[in-house]
């Protein structure tokens, strides 16, 4: 069993772009939706992702916050394409940029399509209280804000958010 410990931040400016050493296109969708998770009918999201020329089936426990159980399994790309057609909500298209900063790998997701305009950075940690240096382009932390989770973005994309939600004025 895997455990994911991550922090998620809104990205401010383009300073991260010069440090990006790799970029991977991604398309992902969910077999279940946010409503199933919110109601408690399901206790894990089920994601299908095509990441460059490989594909994965992923299950992630529904805990809000920085630590969740995560199971990730490689699957054939053709199977992933077929599964994406079965997904509820929209398919999330994004480019993931990999950026090294002060000994850590940051993943900067630049969303496309219905989520265009949203750029979020994530850092995966070895333990919940691990110290890390925040780059100047990592703005407000949104780890605990459900609407920034990809499952939520598939159900209610960034293009449908209010101006206040886009400005993250409800997040300190």
CA atoms within 13 A on the CB side of 98: 10
- Candidates 30, 73, 98, 148; catalytic one: 30
Distance CA(40)–CA(32), nearest Å, equals 12
Q: 3-state class of 90 per DSSP?
A: strand
Q: 3-state class of 120 per DSSP?
A: strand
Distance CA(128)–CA(104), nearest Å, equals 14
**Strands (DSSP E) along 112-153, which ranges?**
119-124, 138-141
- In this structure, what are the phi and psi dihedrals at residue 37, rounded to the nearest 5 degrees? -70, -45
Distance CA(46)–CA(87), nearest Å, equals 9
Say whether 30 is catalytic: yes
Q: Which residues pair with 27 in a beta bridge?
A: 50, 93
Which active-site residues does the annotation give?
A: 30
């Amino acid at each position: 069993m895997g455990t994911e410990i991550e922090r998620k931040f809104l990205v401010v400016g383009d300073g991260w772009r010069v440090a990006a050493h790799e970029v991977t296109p991604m398309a992902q969708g969910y077999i279940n939706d946010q409503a199933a998770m919110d109601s408690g009918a399901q206790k894990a999201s089920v994601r299908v992702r095509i990441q460059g020329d490989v594909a994965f089936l992923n299950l992630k426990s529904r805990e809000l916050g920085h630590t969740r159980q995560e199971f990730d399994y490689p699957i054939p790309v053709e199977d992933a394409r077929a599964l994406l057609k079965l997904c509820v909500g929209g398919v999330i298209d994004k480019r993931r940029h990999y950026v090294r900063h002060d000994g850590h790998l940051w993943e900067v997701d630049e969303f496309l399509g219905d989520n265009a305009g949203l750029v979020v950075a994530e850092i995966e940690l070895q333990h919940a209280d691990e110290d890390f240096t925040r780059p100047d382009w990592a703005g407000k932390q949104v780890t605990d804000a459900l609407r920034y989770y990809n499952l939520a973005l598939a159900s209610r994309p960034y293009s449908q958010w209010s101006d206040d939600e886009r400005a993250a004025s409800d997040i300190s």
